[in-house]
Amino acid sequence: MSFLTQFWVVSWSVCALAVTIVVGLVIYSSWAKSRAAALSLKREHYVALLKAGADALEGKATMPADDVLTDLAVELLELVRGDEKARFAERVARLGTVARLHRRLRRGNVRSRVLAAAALANFNDEETRNALTGALDDRNPRVGRVAALSLAAMGRSPAPRDMIRRLWIGEPEAPPLIVMLLFGLAQSNVESVRSLLLDPDTSEQHKAAAASALALCNDVAAAPIIARLAMACDPRARELPRYLGALADIEHPAGSPAVLHWLDSSSAEVRAAAARAAGRIVVEPALDRLERLLGDPDWWVRFQAAHALLRFGEEGQGRLGKACARNEEPARETAMLTLAEHADFVDAA
Amino acid sequence: MLPEPWETLRQAAEILDFTVIGLLTAQLCLFLLTFVAASVAVVERPPHASPALLWRRYAHIAPPITIIAPAYNEALTVVASVEALLALEYPAFEIIVVNDGSSDDTLKRLVDRFDLRPVARLCNRASPHAPIRGFHASTRVQRLLVIDKQNGGKADAVNAGINASRTPIICVTDADTLFESDALLRAVWPFIEDPLTVAVGGTICVVNGSKVSAGRVIEARLPRNFLALVQALEYQRAFAMVRVGLSRLGAMSIISGAFGLFRRDAVMEVGGYSLGTVGEDLELVVKLHRLFRESGRPYAMRFMAEPVVWTQAPEWFGDLGRQRARWQRGALETIWKHRTVALNPRYGPVGLIGFGQIILLDVIGPIVAVLGYVLIPLCWAIGLLSHEYFLAFLSAVFGFGFLMSALSLAFGQILLGKIERPSDMAIMGLVAVVENFGYRQLCNLWRIQGWWQYLRRHEQWGRMTRKEFKRD
């Protein structure tokens, strides 16, 4: 058989394969459609029973809970809050949904394990906590991280330092996901997260993540520590703007020395972060420098400085007005447009 | 024995035949490489969590996003699109619609619908664009800002939006694009998981034929127009398969202009979108690759299949032809402008695989294919080529194309599952066969037209006919 004939045969085989795939997809669609219809009926049945109260479910639902009831319960749990959520979680747990989720966490594929770890955050019992703690060592780090988030949400996480070491070891940057984890932890044990800031073995990136998490909790006690860390930072350190951002969000005067220190930084990113923090904390000694920053070569710094001045009330608006009167660009344009924008905002309000 | 000139012609015809077959085989090999990578990506993909769970987990740390939607003569669809954007499930976002000097009622419709009034706005001037005529905002809908500017093209309009944005992430889209409500929540995930992420692309589906209500696709249906139907398959091939694979290989060379998220500081650093190009989305991604590769900074660009937006596909030959010729010009402009990246190991997978794919598909592909379509049947008809050569050519053209489409359909079902009815799947399977007889050849002709326009330095964007969305 010549090369061209072989090629011809191969091409026909390729076509046959393609036809098989398409036929398989049509059969699969047909099966999936009927399965979806059956699942939908089952869900409707469970929803009706759940509406009637969990007691109505007992005896009528498949026990222990099947996948449909488990998925439905998890979906509904995400939609309720507070005491209602706790009561609902307790009821669906009695129906065996937690046992089903535990099984998924142990034996499912990665996607199933991740979702089970996330769903188990709704069930704060000892067995679940043990299961999630075990999942921290899952062979897939994504499962471990979600388990850590769930434990943190329960307020039962291991020490944050150990957690970070176990789950984010070797990563060059601290992702926002760590902030979320530490935020969850800080809500039940703020001291443990704050202690990270003082721990000499914790990397600067992770300290900055801890600072951001504490800022989300508005932990004013952390402000002096974060300010000290910011003061001691290398001017080009990547975490410096994050420290200043945390100080801005906490809005505590203890951050003032660091803010004043970095307003004259050579890095535009740092100047912008410091200007924002100066406005949020209302650092009065920073007024002159903020006014000067209206003429900064970097647009983002000018923007932050102008909006910081607005936060000083009449004094800040007066400074912006003076900058409008001076014929110095780009400060004049920045001040003029900021005031106009502010006036629009006030009118709208 | 054939006379000598005839023999030379016969040999030339055989060489052409082998060239076409070789090119198609190379395209198939590249496709199979992306298929393998896409298969790995499918196994590794994060779980499809419910929007409620994503919200509970990430609402506190999700970075604020500015959605930039340039609009040029989009009066028919702009209100529905903006309503859909306003209803997005995301904790913090602003929408900037840039009216790019429309000659229809685009601005008026927005002003009337959202009670807009003129406002002031402090903007950056880092990215060049045509003069702005004014800013409009609403007292009622505080997330919306409309920039009215002189016409300058899509890149120019997006630059105006970038300059007015103030959030760390920007999302570039088109004003006729409809977002699924959880699209942003899903697309932002790589930025939360990996701080090195600079750009993320999502899936674009064809909205023609689907039912739309309040700017949202409530029932996904196949288009009834044949051209739109074939494009639905093409989009599936591009998004559910090729980009998933290229992203896994680290070779993503394009993020569609209809749905892309970028780190604003990185986009600013490369000067925003380049003006005077029609392939601005491809060019921006290449500029970002170059920025990070040349400065030795680590970075990541990802494609996520699950975040989905819907867009109208052209239903008329004229519109489609202009679009395809424009895409071709854009690819050629970018490849020429950044030719140092092409097949250069210094740029890693994007230089070798990403640009390799563009060269194979966009630069050489249409020329060789059209030569093949014209000359090989002719040579066979006049007896220069034997049946064997002709059949090998036909099988390469049609068999490989069919396999690529069938695999893409399978991936589309795994990743997106937008085709629910078995009859729709059967229709798509049929389209995967039919598109090889006429449609693909036509597309290659349009691409040759794009080649010609590129050589003639044709700079026009081209008109597009819009339809109102099919409402419930």
pLDDT at residue A328, rounded to an integer: 85
End-of-domain residue from the set A134, A149, A170:
A134
**Residue of A6, A10, A14 to mutate for B, most B C-beta atoms under 10 A:** A14
Q: What is the CA radius of gyration of chain A?
A: 29
pLDDT band at A67 (very low <50, low <70, confident <90, very high): confident
| Token pair listed for B230 | 């074939």
Pick from A224-238, A253-267, A313-327, A335-349: least confident: A335-349
In chain B, which residue's Cα lies nearest the Cα of A149?
B57
CA angle A138, A142, A147 (to 5 degrees): 65
Q: Give the 3-state secondary structure of residue B259.
A: strand
Cα–Cα distance, B42 to B158 (Å, whole number): 32
User: Taking the CB of residue A311, how many other CB atoms lie within 10 A of it?
Assistant: 15
Q: Rounded mean pLDDT of A29-48?
A: 89
Kindly state whether residue A166 falls inside one of the protein's structural domains: no
pLDDT at residue B448, rounded to an integer: 94
Kindly state whether residue A322 falls inside one of the protein's structural domains: yes
Is B140 within 8 Å of chain A by CB? no
Kindly state whether residue A245 falls inside one of the protein's structural domains: no
Residue B316 CB contacts under 8 Å (≥ 6 apart), including other chains: B227, B465
Cα–Cα distance, B203 to B188 (Å, whole number): 13
End-of-domain residue from the set A134, A151, A179:
A134
Kindly state whether residue A116 falls inside one of the protein's structural domains: yes
pLDDT at residue A161, rounded to an integer: 78
Would you say residue A56 has pLDDT above 70? no
pLDDT at residue B467, rounded to an integer: 58
pLDDT at residue B394, rounded to an integer: 82
Kindly state whether residue A305 falls inside one of the protein's structural domains: yes
**Residue of B403, B404, B433 to mutate for A, most A C-beta atoms under 10 A:** B403
> What are A146-164's pLDDT values in tens digits?
898 888 888 777 778 777 7
Instruction: Judge: domain B64-348, CATH 1.10.3720.10.
Output: no
Q: Rounded mean pLDDT of A116-121?
A: 90
Residue B11 CB contacts under 8 Å (≥ 6 apart), including other chains: none
pLDDT at residue A291, rounded to an integer: 93
Compute the 3-state secondary structure of chain A and give helix, strand, coil in percent, each to the nearest 5: 80, 0, 20
CA dist A245 to A27, A289, A294, B111, B218, Å?
55, 18, 20, 36, 41
Kindly state whether residue A1 falls inside one of the protein's structural domains: no
Place of tokens 């073995």: A201
pLDDT at residue B349, rounded to an integer: 93
pLDDT at residue B141, rounded to an integer: 86
pLDDT at residue B472, rounded to an integer: 46
User: Taking the CB of residue A39, how many other CB atoms lie within 10 A of it?
Assistant: 14
Cα–Cα distance, B164 to B272 (Å, whole number): 12
End-of-domain residue from the set A116, A134, A152:
A134
Cα–Cα distance, B169 to B188 (Å, whole number): 9
Under 8 Å CB pairs connecting chains A and B tally to: 159
Contact B344, B290 (CB under 8 A): no
Q: Which of B123, B142, B429 sits opposite A26 (nearest CB)?
A: B429
Number of domains composing chain A: 2
The 8-class DSSP code of residue A253 comes to G
User: What is the pTM for the complete model shown?
Assistant: 0.89
Average pLDDT, chain A: 87
> What are A296-311's pLDDT values in tens digits?
999 999 999 999 999 9
Residues of chain A with pLDDT > 70: what percent? 92
pLDDT at residue B388, rounded to an integer: 82
- Within 8-67 of B, beta carbons closer than 8 Å to A belong to 21, 44-50, 52-53, 56-58, 60-61, 63
CB burial of B431-442 (b: ≥16 within 10 Å; e: otherwise) equals bbbbbbeebbbb
Q: Rounded mean pLDDT of A314-342?
A: 89
Cα–Cα distance, A349 to B282 (Å, whole number): 42
What CATH number did the domain enclosing A284 receive?
1.25.10.10
Burial of B212 per CB tally in 10 Å (0-12, 13-18, 19+): buried
- Per the structure, the complete domain to which residue A89 belongs is given by 55-134
Q: Give the 3-state secondary structure of residue A202.
A: coil
In chain A, which residues have their Cβ closer than 8 Å to the Cβ of B396?
A: 7, 11
pLDDT at residue B470, rounded to an integer: 54
pLDDT at residue B316, rounded to an integer: 93
Kindly state whether residue A180 falls inside one of the protein's structural domains: no
Segments of chain B scoring below 50 in pLDDT? 471-472
User: Residue A7 and residue B395: Cβ atoms within 8 Å?
Assistant: yes
Kindly state whether residue A196 falls inside one of the protein's structural domains: no
Q: Give the 3-state secondary structure of residue B397.
A: helix
Would you say residue A88 has pLDDT above 50? yes
Beta-bridge partner residues of B311 = B206
pLDDT at residue B33, rounded to an integer: 92
Own/partner pairs, A201-206, CB within 8 angstroms, 24+ separation:
A201/A161, A202/A161, A202/A164, A203/A174, A204/A233, A204/A237, A204/A239, A205/A173, A205/A174, A205/A238, A205/A239, A206/A164, A206/A168, A206/A174, A206/A178
Cα–Cα distance, B440 to B446 (Å, whole number): 10
> What are B21-33's pLDDT values in tens digits?
888 888 888 888 9
pLDDT at residue A111, rounded to an integer: 85
pLDDT at residue A278, rounded to an integer: 96
